[in-house]
């Protein structure tokens, strides 16, 4: 099957290794993976900020670049939710575009959901031996139902997982929320960091880079420079 990998602009700019790990996992699952070179942003920041005009332009651009593939796979719950849920809403005033958006949405998957439910990815065990806890990012969990998929993949790979308290609770990032409401965001991520440290794990794994940067940055500002914060693809692909 031919898969279009939507790397996400944040991964491309900040942690390209997550994109390469995702590519490795998809190819190991037997997919022919194409990464359109002209891809940019899904339009989520504009959409969330009320700039619907630019968000629609980016949505239409993304449709053109990815609608020819059998599947579109995204290593980010928030970007996948933008594509699956919000594109059809954003383009609802254009009958042709909304029909195309719905067709693409039906073939769009967050990475661990695709590996679990479409590609039936099992894969080899990993040599990753650190003790792990998992943070459920808000968009992936609440909009897409990403919960059991990454845990099943980690378990099959032989990764020891210790659940933290309130693993489903927000890390405080929320895109622009962290900028507009810095004090509230800081208090939320402080609590998340306490739960991570109390779990006894030395690595926290998750599926959204925005949350990774938020949690990692806060841990470091709190003086914790030993707890690793990794994308689930890095662990599963043996790239951590």
User: Phi then psi for 115, rounded to 5 degrees?
Assistant: -65, -35
Cβ contacts of 88 within 8 Å, gap of 6 or more = 98, 101, 102, 105
**Are residues 103 and 18 located together in one domain of the fold?**
yes
pLDDT value, residue 178: 80
- Domain end point (choices 68, 92, 117): 117
pLDDT value, residue 129: 84
Chunked into runs of 10 residues, the chain (240 residues) has average pLDDT values of 96 97 95 96 92 96 97 97 96 96 98 95 74 97 98 93 98 85 93 97 97 96 96 93
- Domain end point (choices 89, 117, 145): 117
pLDDT value, residue 197: 96
pLDDT value, residue 127: 78
- Domain end point (choices 117, 145, 170): 117
**Are residues 79 and 147 located together in one domain of the fold?**
no
Helix (H) or strand (E) holding 95: helix 95-106
pTM value > 0.75: yes
Tokens 């651009």, residue?
Answer: 61
* Beta carbons of 114 and 177 less than 8 angstroms apart: no
Compute the distance between CA of residue 8 and CA of residue 209 in angstroms, rounded to an integer.
Answer: 9
Compute the distance between CA of residue 205 and CA of residue 228 in angstroms, rounded to an integer.
Answer: 8
**Are residues 170 and 227 located together in one domain of the fold?**
yes
Residue 29 lies in a domain: yes
**Are residues 33 and 101 located together in one domain of the fold?**
yes
**Are residues 191 and 136 located together in one domain of the fold?**
yes
Q: Which domain holds residue 228?
A: 132-236
Instruction: Give the count of domains, the chain.
Output: 2
Cβ contacts of 19 within 8 Å, gap of 6 or more = 5, 7, 8, 11, 12, 35, 75
Residue 122 lies in a domain: no
Residue 211 lies in a domain: yes
Residue 228 lies in a domain: yes
**Are residues 35 and 100 located together in one domain of the fold?**
yes
**Are residues 88 and 147 located together in one domain of the fold?**
no
Domain harbouring 87, CATH code: 3.40.50
Residue 101 lies in a domain: yes
**Are residues 7 and 105 located together in one domain of the fold?**
yes
Cβ contacts of 120 within 8 Å, gap of 6 or more = 29
């Amino acid at each position: 099957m031919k898969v279009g990998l939507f790397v996400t602009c944040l991964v491309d700019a900040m942690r390209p290794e997550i994109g390469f790990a995702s590519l490795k996992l998809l190819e190991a699952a037997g997919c022919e993976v194409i990464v359109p070179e002209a891809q940019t942003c899904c339009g989520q920041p504009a959409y969330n900020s009320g700039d619907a005009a630019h968000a629609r332009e980016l949505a239409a651009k993304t449709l053109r670049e990815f609608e020819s593939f059998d599947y579109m796979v995204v290593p980010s719950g928030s970007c996948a939710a933008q594509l699956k849920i919000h594109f059809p809403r954003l383009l609802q005033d254009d009958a042709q575009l909304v029909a195309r958006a719905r067709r693409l949405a039906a073939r769009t998957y967050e990475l661990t959901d695709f590996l679990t439910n479409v590609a039936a990815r099992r894969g080899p065990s990993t040599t990753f031996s650190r003790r792990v806890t998992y943070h459920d990012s808000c968009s992936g969990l609440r909009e897409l139902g990403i919960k059991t998929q990454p845990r099943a993949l980690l378990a099959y790979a032989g990764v020891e997982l210790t659940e933290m308290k309130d693993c489903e609770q927000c890390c405080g990032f929320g895109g622009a929320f962290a900028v507009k409401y810095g004090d509230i965001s800081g208090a939320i991520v402080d609590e998340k960091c306490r739960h991570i440290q109390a779990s006894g794990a030395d690595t926290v794994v998750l599926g959204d880079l925005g949350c990774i940067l938020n949690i990692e940055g806060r841990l470091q500002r709190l003086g914790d420079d030993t707890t690793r914060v990794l994308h689930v693809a890095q662990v599963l692909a043996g790239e951590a």
